[in-house]
């Protein structure tokens, strides 16, 4: 699989998630070995008005989405993969007025479950603001409602 | 927002049974549209159905991150309201299990503080839509509750 179909599929996936559009999230990079999404800083996602630090919930949304969409990096065709569970460890608060990036990779793919892990960072990926692990259920291609959306994310006229 | 101010806001909210001023302090809570319902000594948090909170467009279903963010913030508010903490608790970790799809309808959350130490509090959080006995998600979180 070359990189660009993965990027296109990740972008299409993100574009149908209304809440992610509200937060202004975008795909920073999408490769077979992992996905990076960007969450721009905005006053509406502030969790502490005294400091301007963004809310943990916005980081959770970023990381749930990043882990969920990272499944397109390893699956040959688009499948709906609902989140089974997600755990976030906060290393330190995000710095205000700076965008947050979320990286995620799938480290184990089974016929039923995909295990993902990742981290959120601002300037330096080696100084993450949060670490994340999440498991996603594979629903398979046959068990999908809303074929139209699935096909539009898959792309390539499938 | 000084320490005194926050304590005062909590006191006023309890007294007037109006938690809107407390909630509107936090922009993220306003973005999601979180509400607070007091039932006797219990507090139930409500997230009214909102198009902007949808993730999966085919069901349609709420974004898992919105459910998690709502639960995390509910736990924070719960600590603020009941545990006599004069400042915003800081999240240490958060772990969520998704049990059912969160449909496009009102979601409710209730919190249980299992342990509050001097520095750290452990909170269990349950979210449901139709029936409290059929949760759509359960979560647990640790918060740092001592002086920042």
Which of B63, B146, B46 has the alpha carbon at shortest distance from B104?
B63
Which of B47, B76, B75 has the alpha carbon at shortest distance from B138?
B75
Buried b (16+ CB within 10 A) or exposed e, B66-97: bbbbbbbbbbbbbbbbbeebebbbbbbebbbe
CA gap A154, A141 in Å, rounded: 11
CA gap B25, B13 in Å, rounded: 12
**Sign, CA torsion B146/A59/A21/A81:** negative
What does the mean pLDDT of chain A come to?
Answer: 90
Percentage of chain A modeled with pLDDT above 70: 87
B148 close contact with A: CB closer than 8 A:
no
Find the domain containing B34 and state its range: 3-144
Output the domain CATH number for residue B139.
Answer: 3.10.129.10
Please give the tally of structural domains in chain B: 1
Structure tokens at A49: 């008005």
The per-residue pLDDT for range B60-119, each reduced to its tens digit, is 999 999 999 999 999 999 999 888 877 889 999 999 999 999 999 999 999 999 999 999
Give the predicted TM-score (pTM) of the model.
0.92
What does the mean pLDDT of chain B come to?
Answer: 91
Say which of A18, A45, A88 has its CB closest to residue B57: A18
Domains, chain A, ordered by start? 3-154 (3.10.129.10)
A17 close contact with B: CB closer than 8 A:
yes
Inter-chain CB proximity A85 and B31 less than 8 Å = no
- A57 interaction partners in chain B (CB closer than 8 Å): 28, 32, 65-66, 68-70, 72-73
């Amino acid at each position: 699989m070359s990189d660009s179909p993965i990027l296109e599929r990740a972008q299409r996936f993100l574009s149908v998630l209304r809440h992610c559009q509200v937060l202004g999230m975008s795909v920073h990079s999408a490769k077979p070995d992992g996905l990076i999404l960007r969450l721009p800083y905005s006053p509406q996602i502030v969790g502490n008005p005294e400091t301007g630090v963004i809310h943990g919930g916005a980081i959770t949304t970023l990381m749930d989405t990043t882990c969920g969409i990272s499944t397109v990096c390893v699956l040959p065709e688009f499948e709906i993969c609902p989140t089974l569970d997600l755990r976030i460890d906060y290393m330190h608060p995000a710095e205000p007025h700076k965008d947050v990036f979320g990286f995620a990779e799938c480290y184990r793919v089974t016929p039923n479950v995909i295990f993902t892990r990742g981290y959120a960072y601002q300037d330096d990926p080696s100084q993450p603001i949060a670490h994340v692990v999440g498991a996603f259920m594979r629903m398979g291609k046959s068990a999908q409602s809303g074929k139209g959306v699935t096909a539009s994310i898959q792309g390539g006229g499938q | 927002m000084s320490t005194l101010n926050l304590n005062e806001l909590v006191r006023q909210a309890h007294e007037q049974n109006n938690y809107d001023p407390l909630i509107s302090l936090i922009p993220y809570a306003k973005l999601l549209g979180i509400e607070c319902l007091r039932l006797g000594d219990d507090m139930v948090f409500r997230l009214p159905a909102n198009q902007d909170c949808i993730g999966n467009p085919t069901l349609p279903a709420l974004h898992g991150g919105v459910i998690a963010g709502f639960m995390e913030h509910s736990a924070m508010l719960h600590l603020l309201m009941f545990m006599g903490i004069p400042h915003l608790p800081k999240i240490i970790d958060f772990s969520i299990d998704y049990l059912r799809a969160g449909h496009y309808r009102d979601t409710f959350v209730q919190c249980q503080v299992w342990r509050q130490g001097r520095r750290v509090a452990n909170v269990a959080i349950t979210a449901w839509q139709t029936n409290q006995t059929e949760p759509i998600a359960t979560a647990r979180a640790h918060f740092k509750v001592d002086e920042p």
